[in-house]
Structure 1
Amino acid sequence: MMGLLKKYTGGVAINNHAELKLFNERKTRNQFQKHLIAKTAANYVENGDVIFIDSETITLEMITFLKNKQVTIITSSLDIIVQALPFENLNVISTDGLLERDTKSFFTCSKRNSFGKYNFDKVFMVLSGVSVSKGVTCTSSIKSEIKETIVKGNAEVFLLVDHTIFEKYAMFTYCGLKKIDYLITDDFLDESYQDYATKNNIEIVIVNHS
Protein backbone atom coordinates (compact mmCIF):
# COMPACT_ATOMS: atom_id res chain seq x y z
CA MET A 1 0.00 0.00 0.00
CA MET A 2 1.48 3.35 -1.03
CA GLY A 3 1.85 5.63 1.99
CA LEU A 4 0.38 4.75 5.37
CA LEU A 5 -0.30 8.32 6.45
CA LYS A 6 -1.76 11.42 4.89
CA LYS A 7 -1.06 14.86 6.37
CA TYR A 8 -3.74 17.52 6.59
CA THR A 9 -4.03 20.97 8.11
CA GLY A 10 -4.67 20.32 11.77
CA GLY A 11 -3.94 16.61 11.84
CA VAL A 12 -2.88 13.32 10.37
CA ALA A 13 -5.26 10.65 9.09
CA ILE A 14 -4.65 7.02 8.28
CA ASN A 15 -5.16 6.06 4.64
CA ASN A 16 -8.33 4.06 3.96
CA HIS A 17 -9.72 5.18 7.29
CA ALA A 18 -11.19 8.48 8.50
CA GLU A 19 -9.90 11.53 6.64
CA LEU A 20 -10.25 15.21 7.38
CA LYS A 21 -12.57 16.67 4.74
CA LEU A 22 -13.08 20.31 3.90
CA PHE A 23 -16.14 21.70 5.68
CA ASN A 24 -18.16 22.52 2.56
CA GLU A 25 -17.50 19.06 1.08
CA ARG A 26 -18.69 17.34 4.25
CA LYS A 27 -21.76 19.57 4.41
CA THR A 28 -23.23 18.07 1.25
CA ARG A 29 -22.78 14.41 2.23
CA ASN A 30 -25.74 12.58 3.77
CA GLN A 31 -27.48 15.89 4.46
CA PHE A 32 -30.92 14.45 5.10
CA GLN A 33 -29.62 11.89 7.59
CA LYS A 34 -27.57 14.52 9.40
CA HIS A 35 -30.64 16.75 9.58
CA LEU A 36 -32.59 13.97 11.31
CA ILE A 37 -29.74 13.19 13.71
CA ALA A 38 -29.46 16.86 14.67
CA LYS A 39 -33.22 17.15 15.18
CA THR A 40 -33.22 14.10 17.44
CA ALA A 41 -30.26 15.43 19.43
CA ALA A 42 -31.91 18.82 19.92
CA ASN A 43 -34.99 17.13 21.38
CA TYR A 44 -32.90 16.19 24.42
CA VAL A 45 -32.07 19.83 25.18
CA GLU A 46 -34.27 21.49 27.80
CA ASN A 47 -34.84 25.13 28.66
CA GLY A 48 -32.08 26.36 30.96
CA ASP A 49 -29.50 23.81 29.82
CA VAL A 50 -25.85 24.73 29.41
CA ILE A 51 -24.54 22.71 26.49
CA PHE A 52 -21.40 22.27 24.44
CA ILE A 53 -21.86 21.85 20.69
CA ASP A 54 -18.88 20.42 18.84
CA SER A 55 -17.80 21.86 15.49
CA GLU A 56 -19.11 19.90 12.50
CA THR A 57 -21.74 19.99 9.79
CA ILE A 58 -24.02 17.59 11.66
CA THR A 59 -24.11 19.73 14.83
CA LEU A 60 -24.68 22.95 12.88
CA GLU A 61 -28.11 21.57 12.01
CA MET A 62 -29.06 21.60 15.71
CA ILE A 63 -29.55 25.38 15.83
CA THR A 64 -32.66 25.08 13.63
CA PHE A 65 -34.28 23.00 16.36
CA LEU A 66 -32.96 24.99 19.36
CA LYS A 67 -34.02 28.45 18.18
CA ASN A 68 -37.16 28.53 20.35
CA LYS A 69 -35.49 27.30 23.54
CA GLN A 70 -33.71 29.18 26.34
CA VAL A 71 -30.25 27.62 26.17
CA THR A 72 -26.62 28.58 26.79
CA ILE A 73 -24.35 27.24 24.05
CA ILE A 74 -20.57 26.97 24.32
CA THR A 75 -18.92 26.23 20.99
CA SER A 76 -15.74 26.60 18.95
CA SER A 77 -17.70 26.66 15.67
CA LEU A 78 -17.86 29.92 13.73
CA ASP A 79 -20.85 28.67 11.74
CA ILE A 80 -22.81 27.76 14.87
CA ILE A 81 -22.15 31.24 16.28
CA VAL A 82 -23.40 32.89 13.08
CA GLN A 83 -26.42 30.56 12.84
CA ALA A 84 -27.44 31.35 16.43
CA LEU A 85 -26.96 35.11 16.05
CA PRO A 86 -30.61 36.01 15.23
CA PHE A 87 -32.00 34.22 18.29
CA GLU A 88 -31.59 36.30 21.46
CA ASN A 89 -32.84 33.43 23.61
CA LEU A 90 -29.70 31.46 22.66
CA ASN A 91 -26.89 32.66 24.90
CA VAL A 92 -23.71 31.87 22.95
CA ILE A 93 -20.23 31.65 24.49
CA SER A 94 -17.40 31.35 21.98
CA THR A 95 -14.13 29.65 22.74
CA ASP A 96 -11.04 31.64 21.86
CA GLY A 97 -8.04 30.76 19.75
CA LEU A 98 -6.89 30.62 16.16
CA LEU A 99 -9.51 30.32 13.42
CA GLU A 100 -8.93 27.15 11.40
CA ARG A 101 -10.47 28.08 8.07
CA ASP A 102 -10.87 24.54 6.71
CA THR A 103 -13.19 23.57 9.56
CA LYS A 104 -14.42 27.08 10.46
CA SER A 105 -13.62 26.54 14.12
CA PHE A 106 -11.38 28.06 16.78
CA PHE A 107 -8.70 26.12 18.60
CA THR A 108 -5.69 26.87 20.77
CA CYS A 109 -2.93 24.88 22.43
CA SER A 110 -2.74 26.98 25.57
CA LYS A 111 -6.43 26.97 26.52
CA ARG A 112 -7.38 23.34 26.04
CA ASN A 113 -7.80 22.74 29.76
CA SER A 114 -10.06 25.79 30.22
CA PHE A 115 -13.02 23.64 29.16
CA GLY A 116 -12.78 21.89 32.51
CA LYS A 117 -14.18 24.97 34.27
CA TYR A 118 -17.58 24.73 32.56
CA ASN A 119 -20.43 22.86 34.21
CA PHE A 120 -22.16 21.51 31.13
CA ASP A 121 -25.51 19.76 31.39
CA LYS A 122 -25.10 18.05 28.02
CA VAL A 123 -22.34 17.87 25.42
CA PHE A 124 -22.92 17.02 21.76
CA MET A 125 -19.80 15.51 20.24
CA VAL A 126 -18.67 14.64 16.73
CA LEU A 127 -15.89 12.43 15.45
CA SER A 128 -13.90 11.26 12.45
CA GLY A 129 -14.44 7.57 13.07
CA VAL A 130 -15.65 5.12 15.69
CA SER A 131 -15.31 1.45 16.52
CA VAL A 132 -15.65 -0.73 19.61
CA SER A 133 -11.91 -1.46 19.60
CA LYS A 134 -10.54 2.03 18.81
CA GLY A 135 -13.20 4.12 20.53
CA VAL A 136 -14.11 7.63 19.40
CA THR A 137 -11.43 9.23 17.25
CA CYS A 138 -10.44 12.46 15.53
CA THR A 139 -7.62 13.64 13.29
CA SER A 140 -5.99 16.34 15.47
CA SER A 141 -3.99 15.86 18.67
CA ILE A 142 -4.96 19.31 19.96
CA LYS A 143 -8.65 18.79 19.31
CA SER A 144 -8.41 15.32 20.80
CA GLU A 145 -7.17 16.76 24.10
CA ILE A 146 -9.94 19.36 24.12
CA LYS A 147 -12.62 16.78 23.39
CA GLU A 148 -11.18 14.46 26.03
CA THR A 149 -11.43 17.24 28.64
CA ILE A 150 -15.04 17.95 27.69
CA VAL A 151 -16.29 14.36 27.89
CA LYS A 152 -14.46 13.75 31.20
CA GLY A 153 -16.88 16.06 32.99
CA ASN A 154 -20.19 15.14 34.60
CA ALA A 155 -22.36 16.13 31.64
CA GLU A 156 -24.43 13.69 29.64
CA VAL A 157 -22.43 12.85 26.52
CA PHE A 158 -24.22 12.59 23.17
CA LEU A 159 -22.35 11.22 20.17
CA LEU A 160 -23.80 12.17 16.77
CA VAL A 161 -22.79 9.63 14.15
CA ASP A 162 -23.88 9.08 10.58
CA HIS A 163 -23.56 5.47 9.46
CA THR A 164 -20.64 6.12 7.07
CA ILE A 165 -18.03 6.47 9.83
CA PHE A 166 -18.62 3.30 11.83
CA GLU A 167 -15.66 0.92 11.81
CA LYS A 168 -13.34 3.72 10.70
CA TYR A 169 -10.75 5.44 12.82
CA ALA A 170 -8.42 8.43 12.81
CA MET A 171 -5.07 8.87 14.51
CA PHE A 172 -6.23 10.03 17.96
CA THR A 173 -8.75 8.46 20.34
CA TYR A 174 -10.37 11.03 22.60
CA CYS A 175 -12.55 8.62 24.57
CA GLY A 176 -13.69 5.04 24.71
CA LEU A 177 -17.24 4.23 23.69
CA LYS A 178 -18.11 3.45 27.31
CA LYS A 179 -17.92 7.19 28.10
CA ILE A 180 -20.88 7.87 25.79
CA ASP A 181 -24.40 8.08 27.26
CA TYR A 182 -26.36 8.45 24.02
CA LEU A 183 -25.30 7.35 20.55
CA ILE A 184 -27.56 8.95 17.94
CA THR A 185 -27.28 7.55 14.42
CA ASP A 186 -29.23 7.00 11.23
CA ASP A 187 -28.98 3.24 10.78
CA PHE A 188 -29.25 0.08 12.85
CA LEU A 189 -25.97 -1.17 14.28
CA ASP A 190 -24.61 -4.68 14.21
CA GLU A 191 -24.65 -6.95 17.26
CA SER A 192 -21.18 -5.98 18.47
CA TYR A 193 -22.32 -2.40 19.07
CA GLN A 194 -25.65 -3.45 20.52
CA ASP A 195 -23.96 -5.83 22.97
CA TYR A 196 -21.39 -3.21 23.94
CA ALA A 197 -24.11 -0.62 24.49
CA THR A 198 -26.11 -2.97 26.71
CA LYS A 199 -23.07 -3.83 28.84
CA ASN A 200 -22.04 -0.20 29.23
CA ASN A 201 -25.44 1.48 29.68
CA ILE A 202 -25.29 3.35 26.38
CA GLU A 203 -28.61 4.28 24.82
CA ILE A 204 -28.56 3.80 21.05
CA VAL A 205 -31.03 6.11 19.32
CA ILE A 206 -31.94 5.39 15.69
CA VAL A 207 -33.51 8.40 14.01
CA ASN A 208 -36.97 8.18 12.51
CA HIS A 209 -36.82 8.49 8.69
CA SER A 210 -40.58 8.75 8.23
Structure 2
Amino acid sequence: MLKTERVGEIKEYIEEHETVSLDELVAKFNVSKNTIRRDVQELVDSGDFNKIYGGVCVNRSTVVPFNDRKVRSHTEKQEIAKLAAEYVKDGDIIFIDSGTTTPKMLEYIKHLNLTIVTNNIDLVINALPYEGIDVFSTGGMLERKTKSLTSMDNKNLINGYNINKAFLASTGVSINNGVTNSLPIESELKTCVVKRSEEVFLLVDHSKFDESSLTTYCGLDEIDYLVTDRLPHHKYVEYAKNRQIKLLTPQTNTTKN
Protein backbone atom coordinates (compact mmCIF):
# COMPACT_ATOMS: atom_id res chain seq x y z
CA MET A 1 0.00 0.00 0.00
CA LEU A 2 1.27 3.47 -0.86
CA LYS A 3 2.07 5.73 2.08
CA THR A 4 -0.53 8.33 1.05
CA GLU A 5 -3.20 5.65 0.87
CA ARG A 6 -2.20 4.24 4.27
CA VAL A 7 -2.15 7.65 5.95
CA GLY A 8 -5.58 8.38 4.49
CA GLU A 9 -6.98 5.14 5.90
CA ILE A 10 -5.36 5.79 9.29
CA LYS A 11 -6.98 9.23 9.29
CA GLU A 12 -10.41 7.71 8.60
CA TYR A 13 -9.89 5.05 11.27
CA ILE A 14 -9.01 7.62 13.94
CA GLU A 15 -11.93 9.85 12.93
CA GLU A 16 -14.31 6.89 13.25
CA HIS A 17 -13.01 5.69 16.65
CA GLU A 18 -11.99 9.17 17.93
CA THR A 19 -9.27 7.75 20.23
CA VAL A 20 -6.93 4.87 19.31
CA SER A 21 -3.66 3.45 20.60
CA LEU A 22 -0.51 3.12 18.52
CA ASP A 23 -0.55 -0.64 19.15
CA GLU A 24 -4.06 -0.82 17.75
CA LEU A 25 -2.93 0.99 14.59
CA VAL A 26 0.08 -1.32 14.24
CA ALA A 27 -2.19 -4.38 14.37
CA LYS A 28 -4.81 -2.84 12.11
CA PHE A 29 -2.45 -1.73 9.34
CA ASN A 30 0.20 -4.43 9.73
CA VAL A 31 3.21 -2.07 9.74
CA SER A 32 5.96 -1.34 12.24
CA LYS A 33 5.46 0.92 15.22
CA ASN A 34 8.03 3.35 13.84
CA THR A 35 6.03 3.63 10.62
CA ILE A 36 2.84 4.27 12.58
CA ARG A 37 4.60 6.93 14.67
CA ARG A 38 5.70 8.76 11.51
CA ASP A 39 2.25 8.52 9.94
CA VAL A 40 0.54 9.71 13.13
CA GLN A 41 2.98 12.61 13.45
CA GLU A 42 2.08 13.67 9.91
CA LEU A 43 -1.60 13.68 10.89
CA VAL A 44 -0.90 15.54 14.14
CA ASP A 45 1.04 18.17 12.17
CA SER A 46 -2.07 18.76 10.06
CA GLY A 47 -3.83 20.07 13.17
CA ASP A 48 -6.77 17.65 13.07
CA PHE A 49 -5.39 15.23 15.70
CA ASN A 50 -3.66 15.34 19.07
CA LYS A 51 -1.12 12.99 20.57
CA ILE A 52 -2.04 11.31 23.83
CA TYR A 53 -0.08 8.86 25.97
CA GLY A 54 0.41 5.74 23.84
CA GLY A 55 -1.93 6.87 21.10
CA VAL A 56 -3.72 9.61 19.21
CA CYS A 57 -7.13 11.26 19.33
CA VAL A 58 -9.27 13.59 17.27
CA ASN A 59 -8.73 17.29 17.90
CA ARG A 60 -12.15 18.17 19.35
CA SER A 61 -11.95 21.74 18.06
CA THR A 62 -11.89 20.46 14.46
CA VAL A 63 -14.43 17.63 14.76
CA VAL A 64 -17.21 17.74 12.18
CA PRO A 65 -20.51 18.42 14.01
CA PHE A 66 -22.79 15.43 14.51
CA ASN A 67 -25.52 16.76 12.20
CA ASP A 68 -22.98 17.34 9.43
CA ARG A 69 -21.65 13.80 9.80
CA LYS A 70 -25.23 12.53 9.71
CA VAL A 71 -25.90 14.39 6.45
CA ARG A 72 -22.68 13.08 4.93
CA SER A 73 -23.56 9.52 5.96
CA HIS A 74 -27.04 9.94 4.49
CA THR A 75 -25.54 11.07 1.18
CA GLU A 76 -23.20 8.07 1.07
CA LYS A 77 -26.04 5.64 1.73
CA GLN A 78 -28.19 7.36 -0.89
CA GLU A 79 -25.43 6.94 -3.47
CA ILE A 80 -25.10 3.24 -2.66
CA ALA A 81 -28.86 2.70 -2.94
CA LYS A 82 -29.03 4.57 -6.25
CA LEU A 83 -26.16 2.56 -7.68
CA ALA A 84 -27.70 -0.77 -6.65
CA ALA A 85 -31.08 0.30 -8.07
CA GLU A 86 -29.54 0.61 -11.53
CA TYR A 87 -29.44 -3.20 -11.65
CA VAL A 88 -33.18 -3.62 -11.07
CA LYS A 89 -35.28 -4.21 -14.20
CA ASP A 90 -38.98 -4.43 -15.05
CA GLY A 91 -40.41 -7.79 -14.04
CA ASP A 92 -37.73 -8.62 -11.48
CA ILE A 93 -38.54 -10.49 -8.29
CA ILE A 94 -36.24 -8.97 -5.70
CA PHE A 95 -35.56 -9.17 -2.00
CA ILE A 96 -34.79 -5.92 -0.17
CA ASP A 97 -33.30 -6.31 3.29
CA SER A 98 -33.85 -4.27 6.41
CA GLY A 99 -31.17 -1.69 7.19
CA THR A 100 -30.41 1.98 6.75
CA THR A 101 -29.30 1.78 3.11
CA THR A 102 -31.30 -0.92 1.32
CA PRO A 103 -34.79 0.64 1.76
CA LYS A 104 -33.55 3.83 0.10
CA MET A 105 -33.58 1.91 -3.18
CA LEU A 106 -37.35 2.37 -3.44
CA GLU A 107 -36.98 5.98 -4.56
CA TYR A 108 -35.09 4.81 -7.67
CA ILE A 109 -37.24 1.82 -8.61
CA LYS A 110 -40.74 3.06 -7.79
CA HIS A 111 -41.57 3.57 -11.49
CA LEU A 112 -40.93 -0.10 -12.36
CA ASN A 113 -43.22 -3.12 -12.36
CA LEU A 114 -41.72 -5.37 -9.71
CA THR A 115 -42.29 -7.95 -7.04
CA ILE A 116 -40.51 -7.11 -3.80
CA VAL A 117 -40.09 -9.54 -0.93
CA THR A 118 -38.97 -7.75 2.22
CA ASN A 119 -38.70 -7.91 6.00
CA ASN A 120 -38.50 -4.11 6.29
CA ILE A 121 -41.53 -2.29 7.71
CA ASP A 122 -40.68 1.12 6.27
CA LEU A 123 -40.39 -0.33 2.78
CA VAL A 124 -43.80 -1.97 3.00
CA ILE A 125 -45.41 1.31 4.07
CA ASN A 126 -43.53 3.51 1.62
CA ALA A 127 -44.37 1.25 -1.33
CA LEU A 128 -48.13 1.70 -0.81
CA PRO A 129 -48.57 4.47 -3.46
CA TYR A 130 -46.86 2.50 -6.24
CA GLU A 131 -49.36 0.15 -7.84
CA GLY A 132 -46.77 -1.40 -10.15
CA ILE A 133 -44.95 -2.87 -7.16
CA ASP A 134 -46.28 -6.03 -5.53
CA VAL A 135 -44.95 -6.39 -2.00
CA PHE A 136 -44.66 -9.62 -0.02
CA SER A 137 -43.78 -9.26 3.65
CA THR A 138 -41.94 -12.01 5.49
CA GLY A 139 -44.16 -11.33 8.52
CA GLY A 140 -43.41 -12.28 12.09
CA MET A 141 -42.37 -10.42 15.22
CA LEU A 142 -41.45 -6.74 15.16
CA GLU A 143 -37.76 -6.06 15.76
CA ARG A 144 -37.84 -2.37 16.68
CA LYS A 145 -34.08 -1.85 16.50
CA THR A 146 -33.91 -2.67 12.79
CA LYS A 147 -37.57 -1.94 11.89
CA SER A 148 -37.80 -5.48 10.58
CA LEU A 149 -40.04 -8.52 10.91
CA THR A 150 -38.50 -11.76 12.13
CA SER A 151 -39.89 -15.25 12.51
CA MET A 152 -38.73 -18.81 13.02
CA ASP A 153 -40.80 -19.67 9.93
CA ASN A 154 -38.88 -17.32 7.62
CA LYS A 155 -36.78 -20.19 6.28
CA ASN A 156 -39.81 -22.08 4.97
CA LEU A 157 -41.32 -18.88 3.60
CA ILE A 158 -38.23 -17.80 1.66
CA ASN A 159 -37.71 -21.29 0.27
CA GLY A 160 -41.02 -20.86 -1.56
CA TYR A 161 -39.84 -17.78 -3.51
CA ASN A 162 -37.76 -17.64 -6.68
CA ILE A 163 -35.73 -14.46 -6.23
CA ASN A 164 -33.87 -12.91 -9.15
CA LYS A 165 -31.84 -10.41 -7.14
CA ALA A 166 -31.30 -9.93 -3.42
CA PHE A 167 -30.14 -6.63 -1.95
CA LEU A 168 -28.71 -7.29 1.48
CA ALA A 169 -27.30 -5.27 4.36
CA SER A 170 -24.64 -6.16 6.91
CA THR A 171 -23.28 -4.78 10.16
CA GLY A 172 -19.79 -6.01 9.34
CA VAL A 173 -17.76 -7.45 6.47
CA SER A 174 -14.40 -9.22 6.63
CA ILE A 175 -12.52 -11.76 4.54
CA ASN A 176 -12.11 -14.16 7.46
CA ASN A 177 -15.60 -13.93 9.01
CA GLY A 178 -17.57 -13.12 5.88
CA VAL A 179 -20.80 -11.13 5.94
CA THR A 180 -22.10 -10.74 9.46
CA ASN A 181 -25.15 -9.58 11.38
CA SER A 182 -25.86 -8.89 15.05
CA LEU A 183 -29.24 -10.67 15.29
CA PRO A 184 -29.15 -14.49 14.87
CA ILE A 185 -32.81 -14.78 13.87
CA GLU A 186 -32.27 -12.22 11.10
CA SER A 187 -29.12 -14.02 9.99
CA GLU A 188 -31.07 -17.20 9.34
CA LEU A 189 -33.41 -15.29 7.02
CA LYS A 190 -30.48 -13.69 5.19
CA THR A 191 -28.79 -17.07 4.74
CA CYS A 192 -31.94 -18.46 3.12
CA VAL A 193 -32.24 -15.44 0.86
CA VAL A 194 -28.66 -15.88 -0.36
CA LYS A 195 -29.36 -19.51 -1.25
CA ARG A 196 -32.64 -18.72 -3.06
CA SER A 197 -31.34 -15.80 -5.13
CA GLU A 198 -29.84 -15.88 -8.60
CA GLU A 199 -27.73 -12.79 -7.86
CA VAL A 200 -26.74 -11.37 -4.49
CA PHE A 201 -25.92 -7.68 -3.95
CA LEU A 202 -24.31 -6.58 -0.69
CA LEU A 203 -24.83 -2.88 0.14
CA VAL A 204 -22.37 -1.58 2.74
CA ASP A 205 -20.65 1.74 3.36
CA HIS A 206 -16.88 1.95 3.89
CA SER A 207 -17.15 1.82 7.70
CA LYS A 208 -18.38 -1.81 7.62
CA PHE A 209 -15.16 -3.30 6.22
CA ASP A 210 -12.88 -5.23 8.60
CA GLU A 211 -15.73 -5.35 11.12
CA SER A 212 -17.54 -8.45 12.43
CA SER A 213 -20.78 -8.97 14.31
CA LEU A 214 -22.19 -11.91 16.25
CA THR A 215 -23.22 -14.23 13.41
CA THR A 216 -22.07 -14.90 9.85
CA TYR A 217 -24.90 -15.35 7.36
CA CYS A 218 -22.78 -16.02 4.27
CA GLY A 219 -19.22 -16.04 3.04
CA LEU A 220 -17.94 -13.01 1.19
CA ASP A 221 -17.36 -15.31 -1.79
CA GLU A 222 -21.12 -15.96 -2.00
CA ILE A 223 -21.72 -12.33 -3.01
CA ASP A 224 -22.03 -11.44 -6.70
CA TYR A 225 -21.98 -7.63 -6.35
CA LEU A 226 -20.32 -5.61 -3.60
CA VAL A 227 -21.81 -2.10 -3.61
CA THR A 228 -20.14 0.57 -1.50
CA ASP A 229 -19.47 4.31 -1.42
CA ARG A 230 -15.71 4.16 -2.04
CA LEU A 231 -13.05 1.62 -2.94
CA PRO A 232 -12.17 -0.46 0.14
CA HIS A 233 -8.69 -1.61 1.17
CA HIS A 234 -6.78 -3.18 -1.71
CA LYS A 235 -7.09 -6.66 -0.15
CA TYR A 236 -10.84 -6.50 -0.77
CA VAL A 237 -10.29 -5.25 -4.31
CA GLU A 238 -8.00 -8.22 -4.98
CA TYR A 239 -10.38 -10.63 -3.25
CA ALA A 240 -13.26 -9.44 -5.42
CA LYS A 241 -11.19 -9.62 -8.60
CA ASN A 242 -9.99 -13.16 -7.89
CA ARG A 243 -13.51 -14.42 -7.22
CA GLN A 244 -15.37 -12.60 -10.01
CA ILE A 245 -17.23 -10.39 -7.56
CA LYS A 246 -18.24 -7.10 -9.19
CA LEU A 247 -17.10 -4.23 -6.97
CA LEU A 248 -19.31 -1.18 -7.52
CA THR A 249 -18.74 2.37 -6.29
CA PRO A 250 -20.14 5.66 -7.61
CA GLN A 251 -16.64 6.46 -8.90
CA THR A 252 -15.95 3.16 -10.70
CA ASN A 253 -19.37 2.19 -12.04
CA THR A 254 -19.20 3.54 -15.57
CA THR A 255 -20.76 0.54 -17.30
CA LYS A 256 -22.96 -2.37 -16.28
CA ASN A 257 -22.20 -5.85 -17.56
1:110 aligns with 2:110: no
Deviation at 1:28, TM superposition (A): 6.4
For 2:99, the aligned partner's letter is E
1:96 & 1:182 partners in 2: Cα distance? 27
The partner residue of 2:199 within 156, 167, 189 is 156
Which structure carries more helix by proportion?
A: 2
Supply the distance in 1 between the matched residues of 2:233 and 2:173 (Cα, whole angstroms): 13
What SS does the corresponding residue of 1:167 show, helix, strand or coil?
A: coil
**Which of 215, 219, 222 is the matching residue for 1:176?**
219
Matched residues in 2 for 1:154 and 1:104: separation? Answer: 23
Structure 1 range deviating more: 109-118 or 193-202: 109-118
The whole-number CA distance in structure 2 between the counterparts of 1:180 and 1:52 is: 14
Amino acid at match of 1:160: L
* Deviating 4+ runs (over 6 angstroms): none
The structure with more radius of gyration = 2
- Pairwise CA distance, 1:153: 2.2
**CA-CA distance at 1:171 after TM superposition:** 0.9
Greater relative CO, 1 or 2 (CA 8 Å, sep 6+): 1
Are the structure 2 counterparts of residues 208 and 191 from structure 1 closer, same or farther at C-alpha, using a change threshold of 3 Å?
closer
Q: Report the equivalent of 1:137.
A: 180
Query: Superposition pairs for residues 60-209 of structure 1, below 5 Å?
Result: 60-208=103-251
CA contact (8 A) 1:113 1:146 kept: no
Aligned partners of 2:166 and 2:197 also within 8 Å: no
Pairs aligned (count)? 183
Per-residue CA shift, 1:15-73, capped at 9, x if unaligned?
Answer: xxxxxxxxxxxx86710000000001111000000000000110111010011111100
Contact 2:167 2:202 in 1 (8 A): yes
Give me the whole-angstrom Cα distance separating, in 2, the residues matched to 1:189 and 1:181.
Answer: 16
- Tell me the SS of whatever aligns to 2:191: helix
Q: Flag structure 2 segments of 5+ consecutive residues without an equivalent.
A: 1-69, 253-257
Partner Cα separation in structure 1 for residue 154 and residue 120 of structure 2: 16
- Tell me the TM-score normalized by structure 2: 0.68
TM-score by structure 1 length?
0.83
1:38/1:61 contact within 8 Å kept:
yes
RMSD over aligned CA atoms reads 1.5
Q: What displacement does 1:208 show?
A: 3.9
Shift of residue 172 of structure 1? 0.3
Say which SS state the counterpart of residue 178 (structure 1) adopts.
helix
Aligned equivalent of 2:66: none
Deviations 1:104-160 (A, max 9, x none): 111011333321111000000000100111100001111111111110124200000
Q: CA separation in 1, counterparts of 2:71 and 2:124?
A: 20
Task: Give the percent of matched residue pairs that are identical in Structure 1 and Structure 2.
Answer: 44
- The equivalent residue for 2:98 is 55
